[in-house]
Structure 1
């Protein structure tokens, strides 16, 4: 019997800057981890909506944002062959720095890491890791 898929939430945090949509991404302090968007695992008995709010706060330090909507949901096979049930949310923010560093507060394997945040304004600007960019076209059109 197979394992149940692991529920994962992904946050496309967006802002409008000089008339263009931008998405928040980060570079890990471990260069092998690549460029990512905030994401994490849904805890037991937690809704995906509440999970994405918690993950964004833990990974970015941002507090003043609004979850706009669920833009995509799919199933994806991870490098370790575990199936992830992925939920991608668009999150709007109006007041955030252009760049900042943050040490995530979620603990676990993120303990002691620093995430280097910056904004992108097209889906081709950077290459996101392992499926993080699968729905950028929904945001950037």
Structure 2
């Protein structure tokens, strides 16, 4: 995965799923103070020396409060250019969980740019009827495999 180049910032994305009420569901969030940021999934930067699989678990904990020690499954990696021109190497993981809460608020930790923000988390039925912000939905169809 490191072959995607150092000119790209590295990010890990978590497609967190659960089965509830007979549906497969995807964990999403909205930034409480900036609804214009859209509906997103937990994600964030990969620290120097950190593998994408370790980073996705850390980001999940920091952005949702969920601690996941079970396996995560790499779905895809790509190169993506944001609307501001920044280049990102994205690594997407499937993270199946058993989570009883239907929705909750979490204050982001970890010291990054979103530290202290409040995320309102909830579940969306799969397949998604609407996309996610910033092209984050690109590999959601791979969850059906």
TM-score (norm 2): 0.88
Work out whether residues 23 and 126 of structure 2, in 8 Å CA contact, stay in contact via their aligned partners in 1: no
Once the two structures are overlaid, the 10-residue window that deviates more, 13-22 or 117-126, is: 117-126
Q: Could you tell me how far apart the structure 2 residues matched to 1:64 and 1:74 are?
A: 24
1:10 matched residue in structure 2? 13
Deviation, structure 1 residue 10: 0.2
Work out whether residues 65 and 92 of structure 1, in 8 Å CA contact, stay in contact via their aligned partners in 2: no
Deviation, structure 1 residue 106: 1.9
Deviation, structure 1 residue 76: 0.5
Structure 1 counterpart SS, 2:71: strand
Q: Could you tell me how far apart the structure 1 residues matched to 2:143 and 2:45 are?
A: 22
Per-residue deviation, residues 17-57 of structure 1 (Å, max 9, x unmatched): 13321110001111111110000000001111100010000
2:143 matched residue in structure 1? 139
1:94 matched residue in structure 2? 98
Q: Does 1:27 align with 2:26?
A: no
1:73 matched residue in structure 2? 77
Work out whether residues 120 and 126 of structure 1, in 8 Å CA contact, stay in contact via their aligned partners in 2: no
Deviation, structure 1 residue 111: 2.9
Q: 1:25 to 1:65 in 2, by over 3 A?
A: farther
Q: 1:65 to 1:12 in 2, by over 3 A?
A: farther
Deviation, structure 1 residue 109: 2.2
Once the two structures are overlaid, the 10-residue window that deviates more, 122-131 or 47-56, is: 122-131
2:133 matched residue in structure 1? 129
Q: Could you tell me how far apart the structure 1 residues matched to 2:26 and 2:43 are?
A: 14
Match 1:36 to one of 40, 51, 57: 40
Work out whether residues 57 and 68 of structure 2, in 8 Å CA contact, stay in contact via their aligned partners in 1: no
Once the two structures are overlaid, the 10-residue window that deviates more, 97-106 or 15-24, is: 15-24
For the aligned residues, what is the CA RMSD? 1.8
